[in-house]
Structure 1
Amino acid sequence: MLAACGPRLDENAQLAKDYLKEQGYSIRSYEGRYSYIIEREQLIHKPDSSIWAVQTVEPDAYIGKEITQERFIVKNHPLSKIYGPQKSFSYKVSVSVFMYNGKIIGGISSPVGNGVGGSPYSLDGKTAEEVLKGDYAEWIKPWNEKYGY
């Protein structure tokens, strides 16, 4: 694991870190990078469908392409207000900034720790229903028709 404030962050990681700081988050640590190629058939299975439900971009332009996630643990995130009062478990807020060709295209956030689980939130802590401005169950039907095979 690389230190969040150390000089060893590459250009992508530094761009993601700077973006998170601009959003008002304090960086606790850099958790590394995860890269993968988006495959059409994956988009109808969780967690991929849940992840794309909290994005403001469609995945079409990225199918067959490599997406990089730069992962951080942050403070001052909206999820801190939701999960902060809980004393029954220890938690942190993890964010993954999605990048393609050196540009930020989205991301997710989630609380991590004992007793925490569930669907991802948007990068700024919104639920799928908030991002979609509607019901996830209604959204998933045409999504599966579009990306199903």
Structure 2
Amino acid sequence: MRRFIIFLTAMLFVIPGCNTTEKVEGNVQIANDYLEEHGYNVLRHINEDSFLLTEGMVSQLPDKLSCSVQEFTASDHIGKEMVVEYFSISNHPFDIEHEETMVSVIISDGKAIGGNSYNPVEKGMRGENGIFSLDGSKQY
């Protein structure tokens, strides 16, 4: 009986953890593939975040800044959960001044739809020089 209780207790921790890990790994893989398709070398995954995109985010500061440099139309995704994966990459135009560049990849409905790059002030931190499109060509 004691073994059975220990087994059930262990399963309470293992089963929910497996489902969460699969989802996170799926989003990380989607974002990683997106970056590689765009010619970037992924050095490491940094973090994950998610949010519900609202109309206010598309039209008001400060979120409007990130939306303004995207290749996708942000208003098409209002009301959807957006997952943002953060990476450190190389082979980016910002690498001229820095060894690596921090980027984010935005995922909606299980598909990578865009992202941002950040000109770092110091290694591993978002820069103070503005928000850029993923390829660094557009800045707000």
TM-score where L is the length of structure 1: 0.68
Task: Name which structure has the greater RCO, CA cutoff 8 Å, separation 6+.
Answer: 1
Partners of 1:95 and 1:69 lie apart in 2 by 10
Which structure has the bigger radius of gyration?
Answer: 2
> Is the 2:119–2:129 Cα contact (8 Å) retained in structure 1?
no
Alignment of 1:91-130 (within 5 A): 92-114=100-122, 116-128=127-139
Q: How does 1:1-149 map to 2 (within 5 A)?
A: 10-81=25-96, 83-84=97-98, 92-114=100-122, 116-128=127-139
CA contact (8 A) 1:92 1:111 kept: no
Specify the SS of the correspondent of 1:50: helix
User: RMSD in angstroms over aligned alpha carbons?
Assistant: 2.3
What is the total number of aligned residue pairs between the two structures? 115
TM-score (norm 2): 0.72
| Structure 2 unaligned blocks of 5 or more | 1-22
Q: Structure 1 residues 45 and 15, CA, compared in 2 at 3 Å: closer, same or farther?
A: same
| Runs of 5+ consecutive residues of structure 1 not aligned to the other structure | 1-7, 85-90, 129-135, 137-149
Identity %: 32
CA contact (8 A) 2:89 2:102 kept: yes
Larger helix proportion of the pair: 2
